[in-house]
Amino acid sequence: MTEPTPPPTPFPAASPQPAPTSNGIPPAAADGAGSAAGPASSPRRDRMLSELAGELRAARDEHRRDVAQLRTDLAGLSTVVGDNADLLGQVTPQVRDLDGGLADLGERVDALATAVTDALTSGPGAGSRPEPDAAPVDWPSLSADDATAEWQALGDWVASVLGPFYELTRAQLPDCWPLHRPAVLELVWLRRMYVAAHRPDAAPSAAADWHTRWRREALANIAAAIPETWCRPGEHWVERFSRRPGPPAPRPTAPVREPEHVPGQRPGSERYQIGLGGEITTPQHWGRAFQNAAGEDIAWRRQREAAAAGGQTSRT
C-alpha cells in the first residue's frame, strides 16, 4: 500500500523590500555609497561652496552699488529734463511771437515794394526817361550815348533841384560852369551822390553827409576851379581877357525898396547889378554855355569812337 504523499511545505513569507530610488539604486546601496564617498569629499566641497558663496555675495554687492548709482544718475537726469522743460516752455511762446513778427514784417516789406513799384509805374514821372544809375561814373570813359544821358540828367538836376531849392547864387555857381571840366566833374559826382543818398533804401546818414559835407566840399572845389579873377556872372574868362578891361561897374549907393520875397530868389538880389552875382542861378544864366559844352563834349566822344572803330577795322 502506498503511503500518502505529504503536502508541500509552504515557503516562508518574503519580507517586504524597499522601493528603489529614481536612479534605480536601492536606498541601502545609495546610503552605503553616500556613506562611503561622503567622508572623503566633504572638505573640498565645502571649500568650493564657500568660495562660490563669497563670489555670489561680491557680485550681489557690486550689483547693488550699480543699481544705486543708476538711481542717482536717473534722479539727476530727471532734474535736468525738468529744468529744460521749464526753459522750453518759456522759449516756445517767444518763438511763436517772433514768427508772427517776422510774418508781419514780411507783409510790410511786400506792401512797401508794391507801393514803390506802383509809384514808379504810375506816378507823375512814369513813362519818362529813367534816372541814370546813382553809382559813381567814370566821366572821361563814357560813350557818346552815355554822356548824352548824363549831360541831360545833370542839366535837369541843376535846374530843378540845386538852383531853386538850395538857392545857389551865380557867384557860387558861375554861369560858365559847363565850360569848365573840373566843375562839370564835381557836379556829376555831386548829383550821383544826391540820388544815392535819397533813395528809399539809403541810410539816413547818407542824406545828412550830403547836406553837411559833400555839397560844401563840391562847391569849394568849384570855386577853386573857377577863380573870381577868371570868370564872373555873365562873363567867361575867354571873353574877359580877350578885350580891353574897362572900369568896374559902380554899385548903387541909395537903398532901394525891397521887393517881396519869391521862393527861389534871395531878398534884395535886385539891389545889385547882374555882374555882381546875387541872383539865384537858373538855366537862363547858364543854359547857352551848357548847350555849347554838352554839344562839343558829345561830338568829341563820337569822334573818339569813330577813330577807335576805324583802328580796329584796319587791324582786322
- pLDDT 10s digit of each residue in the chain, 316 long? 455 555 555 544 444 555 554 445 455 444 444 444 444 558 888 888 888 888 888 888 888 888 888 888 888 887 887 777 777 777 777 777 777 777 877 777 777 666 655 554 544 334 444 445 567 889 999 999 999 999 999 999 999 999 999 998 988 898 889 999 999 999 999 999 999 999 988 888 999 999 899 999 999 999 998 887 778 777 776 555 444 444 444 444 444 444 455 555 555 544 444 445 678 889 998 999 999 999 999 999 999 999 988 877 656 5
Q: Domain boundary at 122, 152, 184, which?
A: 122
Domain shared by 222 and 113, yes or no: no
Angle at 128 (CA atoms; ends 125, 130), nearest 5 degrees: 95
CA dist 269 and 233 (Å) reads 13
pLDDT number for residue 92 = 76
Question: 22 lies in a domain?
Answer: no
Q: Domain boundary at 70, 92, 122, which?
A: 122
Dihedral sign of CA atoms 211, 215, 220, 223 in order: negative
Question: 128 lies in a domain?
Answer: no
Number of domains in the chain: 2
pLDDT number for residue 109 = 74
CA dist 258 and 87 (Å) reads 75
The three three-digit cell numbers of residue 213, written as one number: 559835407
Q: Is 237:231 a contact under the CB 8 Å cutoff?
A: yes
CA dist 97 and 93 (Å) reads 6
The three three-digit cell numbers of residue 29, written as one number: 546601496
Angle at 134 (CA atoms; ends 131, 135), nearest 5 degrees: 140
Measured in degrees and rounded to the nearest 5, phi and psi for residue 305 equal -65, -40
Quote helix, strand, coil % in the chain, to nearest 5: 65, 0, 35
Question: 302 lies in a domain?
Answer: yes
Domain shared by 56 and 152, yes or no: no
Domain shared by 111 and 177, yes or no: no
Q: Is 235:177 a contact under the CB 8 Å cutoff?
A: no
Q: Is 158:175 a contact under the CB 8 Å cutoff?
A: no
Q: Domain boundary at 53, 88, 122, which?
A: 122
pLDDT number for residue 5 = 55
Question: 262 lies in a domain?
Answer: no
pLDDT number for residue 67 = 85
Distances from the Cα of 290 to the Cαs of 54, 205, 238, in angstroms?
Answer: 114, 32, 16
pLDDT number for residue 271 = 41
Q: Which residues contact 76 (CB under 8 A, 6 or more apart)?
A: none
